[in-house]
Structure 1
Amino acid sequence: MADKKIVQWDTRANEIVQEYNWHLGAVNTITFIDQNRRFVTTSDDKSIRLWEWIPVDFKYTNMYPMPSVTLSPNEDADGRLNIWNWKTTKLLKKFKAHDGVSIGCIWHPHETSKVITCGWDGLIKLWD
């Protein structure tokens, strides 16, 4: 959310039941982990936070601006790379990048039309 908050919404009661407001910039992504007992968020404040279902985050890492986060490979994985426009939430491109699990991707720092991926198939690939 642009207002720096994460809200937990009860769809049955149609109300907010919990707010998480420790980010200092817009929240970009929320990824659920540990059978949905925890979640990871990324923000324009250049941080990634790992949360319990309580109002205080218990792990904070300050790094670089992070437009994405991904689950660890022990969840369902098909080797696909999905490229989203996070501002419009539209899927821009989707393709099979690796056999098995894709474990990472990063945009080329100088040629921004290129992305590099790596997978459990032992390959590192440059895509244009």
Structure 2
Amino acid sequence: GKQIFSSKTEFRVSALKFHPTESNVFVCGGFSPEVKAWDLRTSKVLRVYKAAVQQTLDILFLPEGREFLTSTDAVSRDSADRTIVAWDFQSAAKISNQIFHERYTCPSLTLHPKESVFVAQTNGNYMALFSAQRPYRINKKKRYEGHKVEGFAVGCEFSPDGTLLVTGSSDGKVFFYNYHTSRIIRTLSAHKEACVSAIFHPVLPSLLATCDWAGEIKIWQ
């Protein structure tokens, strides 16, 4: 392949996402209070988003890309309101940091493919459901729990049709939840180490890829 971009940040990057409609733009964050938007064409920073945190754990663009969310490491007694932050992409203004009030970090975020909702994986060993519309209210009646996170950066994802929510687990298993009922419909003993990612194939939904903390990768059908 041909390299089309090269640059270096002053911090270690742990999250990077392309803009959903502007193909030449991506946003990255990591071990820094700053999140930066870059332009591939110029290799320059377009905008800087600043929050009073130490690390960005994940980034999620909301539909159409006008807003995006960051999950952070802020969980001290007076900072639980900064665990998930909503940003205006164009102005770099902070829209809200009053989204998630539990004192758990959220290592991963995922957007529903058809409905205006998103899910946050939490270190409370459950996934929380939120509206993707302002003010991003949490659904207090629905919670996806049964798997374990226990400090690992465990990812979660919806199936392409939005009916299933899949997540890894620190015990090496993969859990499949019914999105509508939040019930576990199946578990898979996938790895001996913590399973940190489980994702559906974007075109062939019967294929699932998983990986664990030790670097093992498996494809399931």
TM range (shorter): 0.5 to 0.7
Aligned pair in 2 of structure 1 residues 51, 30: CA closer, same or farther (>3 Å)?
Answer: same
Q: How many residues align?
A: 107
Aligned pair in 2 of structure 1 residues 74, 106: CA closer, same or farther (>3 Å)?
Answer: same
Tell me what 2:111 maps to: 71
Asked if the contact 2:166/2:177 (under 8 Å) is kept, the reply is yes
Tell me what 2:87 maps to: 51
Q: Are 1:17 and 2:46 an aligned pair?
A: yes
Q: Are 1:35 and 2:64 an aligned pair?
A: yes
How much has 1:39 moved relative to structure 2?
A: 0.8
Q: In percent, how many aligned pairs have the same letter?
A: 21
Asked if the contact 2:37/2:47 (under 8 Å) is kept, the reply is yes
Aligned pair in 2 of structure 1 residues 72, 100: CA closer, same or farther (>3 Å)?
Answer: closer
Deviations 1:53-77 (A, max 9, x none): 22222122343111100002417xx
Deviations 1:19-78 (A, max 9, x none): 111141210111111211111111122401121122222122343111100002417xxx
Aligned pair in 2 of structure 1 residues 40, 62: CA closer, same or farther (>3 Å)?
Answer: same
How much has 1:11 moved relative to structure 2?
A: 1.9
Structure (1 or 2) with the larger CA radius of gyration: 2
- C-alpha root-mean-square deviation of aligned residues, in Å? 3.1
Out of 18-27 and 56-65, give the one that drifted further.
56-65
After the TM superposition, which parts of structure 1 deviate over 6 Å for at least 4 consecutive aligned residues?
A: none
Asked if the contact 1:100/1:121 (under 8 Å) is kept, the reply is no
CA distance in 2, matches of 1:29, 1:104: 17
Runs of 5+ unmatched residues, structure 2: 1-29, 76-82, 116-151, 190-221
How much has 1:119 moved relative to structure 2?
A: 2.4
Tell me what 2:178 maps to: 119
How much has 1:104 moved relative to structure 2?
A: 6.0
Asked if the contact 1:23/1:43 (under 8 Å) is kept, the reply is no
CA distance in 1, matches of 2:85, 2:62: 12
How much has 1:106 moved relative to structure 2?
A: 7.3
TM-score by length of 1: 0.64
TM-score by length of 2: 0.40
Which residue identity does 1:112 align to in structure 2? D
CA distance in 2, matches of 1:9, 1:99: 28
Which residue identity does 1:57 align to in structure 2? K
Runs of 5+ unmatched residues, structure 1: 76-84, 92-96
* Relative contact order, higher structure (CA 8 A, sep 6+): 1
Which residue identity does 2:48 align to in structure 1? E
How much has 1:116 moved relative to structure 2?
A: 3.6
